[in-house]
Chain A
Amino acid sequence: MSQRLYLYPIWLRVWHGINAIMFLVLIATGISMQYSNPDAPLIRFDLAVQWHNITGIVLSINYLIFFVGNIVTGNGKFYFIRLKGFVQQIIQQVMYYVIGTFKGQPTPFPVTERRKFNPLQKLTYVGAMYMLVPVVIFSGLALLFPEFIVQKVFSFSGIYLTALLHGAVGFLLSLFLVIHIYFSTMGSTPTSNFKGMMTGWHEPH
């Protein structure tokens, strides 16, 4: 077995922990509001609104920490995608998850000090953290201050469209979370990646 790597510094682990908790509360309260039912409330509507608003703001501030932290500490370089050969690398990684892992093949892009994420992780993390999360944050802030939302967009209600976007992107991020948690079980042991996010040390395959 190759050496353990210290890949997750304390600031990143704290950010990740806060982000995870806020994400879960936002999903639970968001579903509760979207599918509110007076006879069987998941979370009481007024509480769901309050918690969703508070956790949304905390997540937004936390995102700033992630954004700035990535620039300041250099952690951002792990998210950098080189387009040349990237599609091929993605296919390679997908084939590993679909076939290779069951044949006992080694992972095509093992974690090193210089490569924290495999190409598929890069793609989904960049998509989630640099595209979807900003959209969900800005649309959420707009819904918090609806007076700033354009009233009509080609005869469509601006608030409705913003809410639709917020809900749709929130749903995609929920899917991301489910997949992210599942793939986290594919470390050297099913729990090693979870331990790694607690201790900071990555256990290689």
Chain B
Amino acid sequence: MKKIILLLLTLASAGQLAWAQLNVDMESEPAKMEDNKHCFNCHSNKIYTYENEVSGLTERKAMNPNFVYSPEKFYEGVHRHFACTDCHSPDYENFPHQAELRLDPMYTCIDCHGGDPTYASYHFEEVEEAFKQSVHASRHDETFSCWMCHDPHSYKAMTRSDFKISEIVTYHNQMCVSCHDNPVNFQRITDSTKRPLAEIHNFLPNFQLHFSAVRCIECHTSSQDTSWVAHNILEKEFAVKKCVECHSANSMLTSSLYKYQNIEARRNRGTLNAVIVNDAYVIGANRNIYLNIISIILFGMTIVGILIHIFFRIKKH
């Protein structure tokens, strides 16, 4: 029986591993670096300069902060081999840009990746379905696109690379808190106001430690969402609030956050090490089986020793 379970676990882990691979070449030089220099000349700076052909002057203007992008982050992201004009109209190469270009519809993930066997392992269609069930879709119109959370100009597929759990947590949570803990960004898409996150989550002991150790989606997505990264964000009433959901031997974290670690563990370090070097310690979940056995043996020996002593005391009496 044990062998069958081991075999099934191995097959499952092999399947997950195949699922988790990143099929973007992150090693070689970005393919369209030269082409993109023209755009980044202005769009990587808060201030840009141009020759005003009418006045003949060199003018300095402030760039709209929403259109400032970091070339470094772009080339570290999953779209690093893209030219800007692969997604944006080639007409943007002319300056000043035509005003109507802004009316061009933006691509969403599924527009490029949907139905493409190259990206089948990413399950974009499942992600799209989970998103459609989420509070982000039901509370907002279609203007709430993938880009609200995933910036295509810097997006990293953290869980498919060799990042540590703590780095995955920080990266993923940053997406949430950039709106949910930032009133300016939050009110761009809603008129409602929001209490500070620390106040909403004051039921958590060590609120900051929880936020640095687990992702918001651990508690705020449906447990039925089996996507590699869950996208079915629930209404707040349905968020996990019971401590033991995570703080127990069958912690839900093992099927969410720690599945990335489990794969990393099998790949590099062995499970025990991966748990030890993880930044987070989850009492009730991270149990050391060897220490448990030693403690039970020691306790048992103590009790047996006492019982023997009692036996002889009674006998003597």
Contact = CB atoms under 8 A, between A and B. Distances in A.
Interface of A: 33-38, 41, 45-46, 49, 53, 97, 101-102, 104, 146-147, 151, 155-157, 159-160, 163-164, 167-168, 171, 174-175, 178-179, 182
Interface residues of B, number: 35
Contacts of A174: 299
Contacts of B248: 36-38
Nearest to A33: B283
Most buried by B among A160, A164, A178: A160
A159 B243 contact: no
B303 A35 contact: no
Nearest to B291: A168
A151 B299 CA distance: 32
A190 B75 CA distance: 77
B255 to A, nearest CB: 15
Contacts of A97: 309
Interface in B231-255: 242-245, 247-250
Given A38-B248, A102-B312, A146-B209, A49 B277 contact: no
A97 B287 CA distance: 36
B244 A45 contact: yes
B247 A45 contact: yes
Most buried by B among A38, A46, A97, A151: A38
Given A36-B283, A49-B205, 11 more contacts: A34-B287, A36-B248, A38-B242, A38-B244, A45-B242, A147-B209, A156-B277, A157-B276, A163-B281, A175-B298, A179-B302
A159 B244 contact: no
A157 B298 CA distance: 27
A168 B298 CA distance: 12
B206 interface: yes
A151 B303 contact: no
Closest 8 CB pairs of A and B: A36-B284, A45-B243, A38-B244, A160-B281, A159-B281, A36-B248, A102-B316, A45-B244
B254 to A, nearest CB: 14
Contacts of A46: 243
Interface in B246-284: 247-250, 275-281, 283-284
Given A102-B316, A171-B295, A179-B306, A159 B208 contact: no
Contacts of A179: 302, 306
Contacts, number: 84
Contacts of B281: 157, 159-160, 163
A84 to B, nearest CB: 30
Given A38-B244, A49-B205, A33 B284 contact: yes
Contacts of B313: 101-102
A37 B280 contact: no
Nearest to A53: B205
Interface in B177-206: 205-206
Contact of A157 (B208, B244, B277, B309): B277
Nearest to B206: A146
Contacts of A37: 244, 248-249
A145 B172 CA distance: 25
B64 interface: no
Given A35-B284, A45-B247, A163-B283, A175 B299 contact: yes
